[in-house]
Structure 1
Amino acid sequence: MARPFTGQGSLEAARKARDEARTADELRIALAVLLPLEAGLNLTQTALVLGRSRHTTCALRTDFCARASGLRATRRKKTELRNRAQSTLQAEAAALDAALAGAAQGAVLVIPELKEKIEAHLGHSVSLSGVYRMLARHGWRKVAPDTEHPQGNAQAREAWKKNSRPIWRKCAPDSPDNNPSG
Structure 2
Amino acid sequence: MARPASGEEHLELARNAVRIAKTADELRSAQALLLPLELGLSLEQTAIAIGRSKGKTCTLRTNYCKRATGRMAAPVAKRNLRNRANRSLEEEKVLLQEVFDGAGVGGVLVVPPFADKLRQKMGVPLSLSAIYRMLARHGWRKIVPDTTHPKGDSLVREDWKKNSPGCWVKR
Q: What's the TM-score once normalised by structure 2's chain length?
A: 0.60
d(CA) in 1 for partners of 2:84, 2:146: 38
d(CA) in 1 for partners of 2:19, 2:131: 37
1:77 paired to 2:74? no
Alpha carbons of 1:42 and 1:115: their partners in 2 closer, same or farther (altered >3 Å)? closer
Structure 2 counterpart of 1:127 = 125
RMSD value over aligned CA atoms?
Answer: 4.3
Alpha carbons of 1:45 and 1:76: their partners in 2 closer, same or farther (altered >3 Å)? same
Alpha carbons of 1:15 and 1:81: their partners in 2 closer, same or farther (altered >3 Å)? same
Structure 2 counterpart of 1:98 = 98
Q: How far 1:111 moved relative to its partner?
A: 1.3
Deviations 1:59-89, CA, capped at 9 Å, x for gaps? 121123323443223333332689998x653
Deviations 1:13-52, CA, capped at 9 Å, x for gaps? 63256x312x4x5543332122223333222221222233
d(CA) in 1 for partners of 2:149, 2:22: 59
Structure 2 counterpart of 1:89 = 88
Equivalent positions of 1:32-181 (< 5 A) are: 32-79=32-79, 88-89=87-88, 92-93=91-92, 94-105=94-105, 107-108=108-109, 109=111, 110-116=114-120, 118=121, 125-129=123-127, 133=130, 136=133, 139=137, 143=142, 145-149=145-149, 152=154, 156=158, 159-160=161-162, 164-166=166-168
Q: How far 1:127 moved relative to its partner?
A: 3.0
Q: How far 1:58 moved relative to its partner?
A: 0.6
- Count the aligned residue pairs: 157
Structure 2 counterpart of 1:6 = 7
User: Secondary structure of the residue that 1:165 maps to in structure 2?
Assistant: helix
Identity rate, percent: 33
Q: Tell me which amino acid in the other structure corresponds to 2:4.
A: R
Q: Tell me which amino acid in the other structure corresponds to 1:73.
A: A
Q: How far 1:56 moved relative to its partner?
A: 1.9
Deviations 1:146-179, CA, capped at 9 Å, x for gaps? 21357736x9379549864229x79xxxxxxxxx
Q: Which segments of 5 or more consecutive residues in structure 1 lack a partner in the other structure?
A: 120-124, 171-182
1:28 paired to 2:28? yes
User: Secondary structure of the residue that 1:20 maps to in structure 2?
Assistant: coil
> Which structure's CA Rg is the greater one?
1
Contact 2:17–2:27 at 8 Å: present in 1 too? no
Q: Tell me which amino acid in the other structure corresponds to 2:154.
A: G
